[in-house]
Structure 1
Amino acid sequence: MAATAYDAAMRRALDLAARGPVTGGNPQVGCVLLDASGAVVAEGWHRGAGTPHAEVDALSRVADARGLTAVVTLEPCNHTGRTGPCSEALIAAGVSRVVYAVSDPGHESSGGAERLHEAGIEVVPGVLADEVAAFLHIWLTVAARGRPWVTVKWASTLDGRAAASDGTSQWITGTAARQRVHEQRAASDAILVGSGTVLADDPALTARGDAGELLGHQPLPVVVGERPVPADAALRRHPAGLVETGTRDLGRILAELHERGVGRVYVEGGPTLASAVIAAGLADEYAVYLAPALLGGERLAVGDLGIRTISEARRLTITSVEQLGEDLLVMARPERRS
């Protein structure tokens, strides 16, 4: 059967994948099981770390999977982690064909297609590969780089100021923009903040709803710097716990967070930390909240990046612009260089 015959099933699998959580370090994966006529007999998706993978979830919904075709957004894994290898589950179930979109880039988890082929199962790779790769872009980037995806956030006036000359900064933006920040926190595994910001502002760094209630997922606060967090600081009461790095070595911090299963990091630590992350080339995405106001002065949202001439400017590609009340949220990523 031609690969294009599986396009509709793959799009359905992609819809299912989107139901899974973006946090937790695992990919969002969907699976559809088809019978010989191409009809859908079962569906599944991955609901987060430690839960059955999409293929196993779908297989659990049929009494007999022999002869079925499994259409999966990501190449079935071939390793044992918190759950067993999906390649072996598909082999044991007796499926006759596995169709997938994107190969698994992981050193430990890849190889599922080869294992299936060795077991005599027909393997059809690359169906809607571009669409699925775009959907999995962040996870695939994390897997390839071996470090979390880093979003740098700041709020500033239109002239780029993050605070007035006396240091006051609450509130530059309005309530709608501030609520979106909470939503972005909830979509992150960890929040990076500098020790200076902790000492100066005593932030809570929780993700909260419109009424101030805690949202279902809370990011892990991670404090960058040598100075300890005070015993009575709000971060000591954070529901996700607290990590004090004791260092400013951003590469080491991100590597250790990756080892902990952190896939997405939200940098919310003020100009000093934001500038350090950008200067080190570690920013994968920018979330810039702009308020229709002018402050002037020297308190810029981003400090010195070591740029001395316009040709060295860090060019960005704007991915979206959204109006939130009177404010704007500009999402951007580093411009790809050919």
Structure 2
Amino acid sequence: MQRCLFLARKAIGYTYPNPLVGSVIVHKGKIIGEGWHTKAGEPHAEVNAIDSVKDKSLLKESTLYVNLEPCAHFGKTPPCADLIIEKEIPKIVIGCVDINSKVAGKGIERLRQAGREVIVGVLKAESQALNKRFFTFHAQKRPYIILKWAQTRDGFIAPLQQTQQAPVWISNAFSQQLTHLWRAQEGAILVGKHTVEKDNPSLTTRHWVGNNPLRLVIDNNNSLSKKLAVFQGGLTIVLAISPTLSMPKQVCNCLYERQIQSLIVEGGAHVLQQFIDEGLWDEARIFVGTPQFSAGLKAPQLSGNLLSTQEIEGDYLFVVKNPAIEKRSL
């Protein structure tokens, strides 16, 4: 199952709206086939794993491992459960049940009705965590929300004065490249009008290979110049936020309607703090760089469960989980 998870991770950022799935086929203790779902609309992991087996006669004596329940419905591809039954694979080991109402136990039921031995719940927590975006979207009817910012050693997100329309870099080049990797993994990215005016960001994945996220900019008066970098080379949605409704919830509703499963919020401080104050965030990734400003715009304040700390060429990356959301999702 660890191998299934490893294979599934290869496609982060490419399978949406489908989940991340890897599959391994084992015959008498030896892996004879493996595969993963590479892109929405392409064959599923189980299909690729079965196709990779050179001697198909061995399938009748093999065990198929997969981190998510095989589908039992017709979508862009035929049901994987039917293929497993057709190939007479006698035993299936599954990481976790699919939360999507189109599946939700139906694949397991079909396999058992066909006389197959089915084991469910192997590395269940790890399997659910891998597809945190998919599970959050279907369970909570909103995207998985990641807050990201960089702050100085003395706790500032920006200086008092910014003399040019360009970012004042707090994190180093390695941390910035990691940010572009994260962007490639998420469906959308959000910033406020002030950030666009001050930094003129592109919000792309130009320092990494991957898809650009859908760019969202909060601009109630739609007054930003369309010559700014954020409006070049891709799709950008300008959001006008109702003052009588929650901004974070309006953003979530917008993305849910568009079937977008994840959002990375990159600023500015006021936008980030609104998500924090409403408790509407799943994960925060905070870079602490080497500069000190002594004065400036204070970084957002949050409390949560520290998941990890990493040193990146002098910067420190802190990853924090929202304990309220985590408890609610159990």
Shift of 1:22: 4.2
Note the alpha carbon deviations across 1:176-196, whole angstroms, 9 max, x for none: 322222222222221111133
In 1: Cα distance, 2:285 partner to 2:31 partner: 40
Counterpart pick for 1:322 among 307, 310, 314:
310
Partner of 2:322: 334
In 2: Cα distance, 1:243 partner to 1:277 partner: 19
Partner of 1:3: none
Q: Which range moves more in the overlay, 52-61 or 37-46?
A: 37-46
Shift of 1:32: 1.7
Partner of 2:124: 129
Please tell me whether residue 244 in structure 1 is matched to residue 213 in structure 2: no
AA in 1 matched with 2:88: G
- TM (normalized to structure 1)? 0.82
In 2: Cα distance, 1:145 partner to 1:226 partner: 27
- Structure 1 gap segments, 5+ residues each: 1-9, 304-313
Partner of 2:136: 141
**Aligned runs of 1:1-338 on 2, under 5 Å?**
10-23=1-14, 24-35=16-27, 37-62=28-53, 63=56, 65-66=59-60, 68-110=62-104, 111-167=106-162, 170-209=168-207, 215-228=209-222, 229-239=224-234, 241-247=235-241, 249-297=247-295, 299-302=297-300, 314-335=302-323
Shift of 1:41: 2.6
In 1: Cα distance, 2:196 partner to 2:13 partner: 27
Note the alpha carbon deviations across 1:286-327, whole angstroms, 9 max, x for none: 111112333233511227xxxxxxxxxx53122222222332
AA in 2 matched with 1:265: L
In 1: Cα distance, 2:229 partner to 2:280 partner: 28
Partner of 1:7: none
SS of residue in 1 equivalent to 2:298? coil
Cα contact 1:32–1:44 (8 A) shared by 2: yes
Shift of 1:259: 4.1
The structure-2 alpha-carbon separation of the partners of 1:39 and 1:183, relative to structure 1 and needing over 3 Å to count, comes to closer
- Structure 2 gap segments, 5+ residues each: none
In 2: Cα distance, 1:34 partner to 1:275 partner: 49
The structure-2 alpha-carbon separation of the partners of 1:16 and 1:173, relative to structure 1 and needing over 3 Å to count, comes to closer
Shift of 1:175: 2.4
Cα contact 1:22–1:28 (8 A) shared by 2: no
Partner of 1:4: none
AA in 2 matched with 1:215: V
Aligned-residue CA RMSD (Å): 2.5
In 2: Cα distance, 1:265 partner to 1:79 partner: 28
SS of residue in 2 equivalent to 1:268? strand
Shift of 1:59: 2.1
In 2: Cα distance, 1:289 partner to 1:71 partner: 37
Note the alpha carbon deviations across 1:241-261, whole angstroms, 9 max, x for none: 222233364323223323434
The structure-2 alpha-carbon separation of the partners of 1:188 and 1:279, relative to structure 1 and needing over 3 Å to count, comes to same
In 2: Cα distance, 1:128 partner to 1:46 partner: 19
In 2: Cα distance, 1:81 partner to 1:159 partner: 52
In 2: Cα distance, 1:259 partner to 1:70 partner: 35
In 2: Cα distance, 1:41 partner to 1:171 partner: 49
Shift of 1:270: 0.6
In 2: Cα distance, 1:293 partner to 1:190 partner: 29
Shift of 1:58: 1.4
In 1: Cα distance, 2:83 partner to 2:258 partner: 27
In 2: Cα distance, 1:273 partner to 1:280 partner: 11
Shift of 1:67: 5.2
In 1: Cα distance, 2:168 partner to 2:124 partner: 45
